């Protein structure tokens, strides 16, 4: 009888070991007991990539912001803001796993009181590599490796097309507006990956590569730097703030003298994609498409 029980226990242990899933996260590999059925995605980029893989989260942030995420409002429960997850709502939903990233990453320990939690943050300075790694990690988590590989191949194709479009197109400056205020970002910074994927060098070598909030700049700075391309992100538009638009802020006599303005090379990117869903598959590919289209004209 004991031998039979031991064999049964051994079989169960072997089955459990086979079911275990190892996921690469922002903190390294994490072993999970199996494929979760109910996952709360407390980051828009994570929710975006899950949708691309054909997986619907059971819970998401209250505000989804991005147009292509709006269908989740009908299928997933709201569970607080990006910065403040609602633990009571999460407990009522009862997820098997909670995924945090970027803005919600600081709440990982708090939400882990409700269910196991993993952090899938992407680093803006190395966004493309991190986005690919997180996509592969989510694909492994949900047993969607084939789908993940297909999406990664499509992403690589878009990156190649953008690199080709950006050849010999001159210098660039990445600017974030926040109402009347402006910040510029250099290579290696939060939005420095835009230089990387386009192949366009930053116009001013003095920009801080480590500046998460960018360098505060003026219209005079843009005029003196005179970039051949301006890539613009409107923070106010991304979060729905009632403040002057990026177009209004940049429409200045000094900026109008730049090569970028005179040649129609001021590109207003979908700021909600870049600002709120870094690394999200659809958000990222839409941005790559927009950059390719602009540089191909």
Residues 173-191 pLDDT 10s: 999 999 999 999 999 899 9
pLDDT score for 5: 39
Q: What is the pTM (predicted TM-score) of this model?
A: 0.91
What is the pLDDT at residue 297? Answer: 82
pLDDT in tens, 81-120: 999 999 999 999 999 999 999 999 999 999 999 999 999 9
pLDDT in tens, 14-61: 434 457 899 999 999 999 999 999 999 999 999 999 999 999 999 999
Distance CA 208, CA 215 (A): 7
What is the arrangement of strands in the sheet containing 229-234, beginning at the earlier edge strand? 215-216, 181-185, 172-178, 229-234, 266-268
In this structure, what are the phi and psi dihedrals at residue 139, rounded to the nearest 5 degrees?
-60, -40
Q: Which two tokens stand for residue 272?
A: 């909600």
CA distance 221 to 113: 48
Q: Cα separation of 73 and 61, whole Å?
A: 9
Residues of the chain with CATH 3.40.50.1980: 13-149, 166-296
Instruction: Please report which residue ranges of 64-217 form alpha helices under DSSP H.
Output: 72-75, 87-93, 108-111, 127-141, 145-165, 193-198
CATH of 13-149, one of 3.40.50.261, 3.30.390.10, 3.10.350.10, 3.40.50.1980: 3.40.50.1980
Token code pair at residue 38: 């109910």
203-256 pLDDT, tens digit each: 987 787 665 778 999 999 999 999 999 999 999 999 999 999 999 999 999 999
Separation between Cα atoms, residue 244 and residue 227, nearest integer Å: 23
What CATH number is given for 166-296 in this structure?
3.40.50.1980
For residue 11, name the pLDDT band (cuts at 50, 70, 90).
very low
Distance between CA atoms of 188 and 14, rounded to whole angstroms?
45
């Amino acid at each position: 009888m004991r031998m039979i029980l031991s064999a049964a226990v051994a079989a169960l242990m072997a089955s459990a070991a086979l079911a275990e899933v190892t996921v690469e996260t922002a903190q390294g590999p994490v072993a999970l007991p199996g494929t979760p059925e109910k996952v709360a995605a407390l980051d828009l980029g994570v929710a975006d990539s899950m949708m691309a893989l054909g997986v619907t989260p059971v819970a998401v942030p209250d505000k989804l912001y991005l147009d292509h995420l709006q269908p989740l409002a009908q299928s997933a429960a709201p569970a607080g803001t990006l910065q403040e997850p609602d633990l009571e709502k999460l407990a009522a939903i009862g997820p098997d796993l909670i995924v945090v990233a970027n803005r919600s990453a600081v709440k990982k320990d708090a939400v882990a009181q409700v269910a196991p939690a993993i952090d899938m943050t992407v680093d803006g300075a190395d966004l493309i590599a991190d986005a690919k790694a997180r996509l592969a990690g989510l694909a492994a988590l949900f047993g969607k490796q084939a789908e993940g590989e297909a999406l990664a191949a499509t992403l690589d194709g878009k990156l190649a097309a953008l690199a080709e479009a950006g050849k010999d197109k001159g210098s660039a400056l990445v600017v974030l507006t926040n109402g009347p205020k402006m910040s510029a970002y250099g290579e290696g910074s939060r939005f420095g990956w835009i230089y990387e994927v386009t192949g366009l060098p930053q116009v001013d070598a003095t920009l801080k590569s480590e500046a998460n909030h960018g360098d505060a700049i003026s219209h005079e700075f843009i005029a003196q730097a005179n970039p051949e391309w301006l890539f613009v992100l409107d923070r106010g538009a991304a979060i729905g703030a009632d403040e002057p638009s990026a177009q209004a802020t940049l429409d200045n006599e000094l900026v109008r003298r730049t090569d970028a303005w005179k040649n129609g090379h001021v590109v207003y990117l979908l700021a909600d994609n870049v600002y709120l869903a870094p690394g999200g598959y659809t958000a990222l590919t839409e941005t790559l498409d927009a950059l390719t289209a602009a540089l191909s004209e």
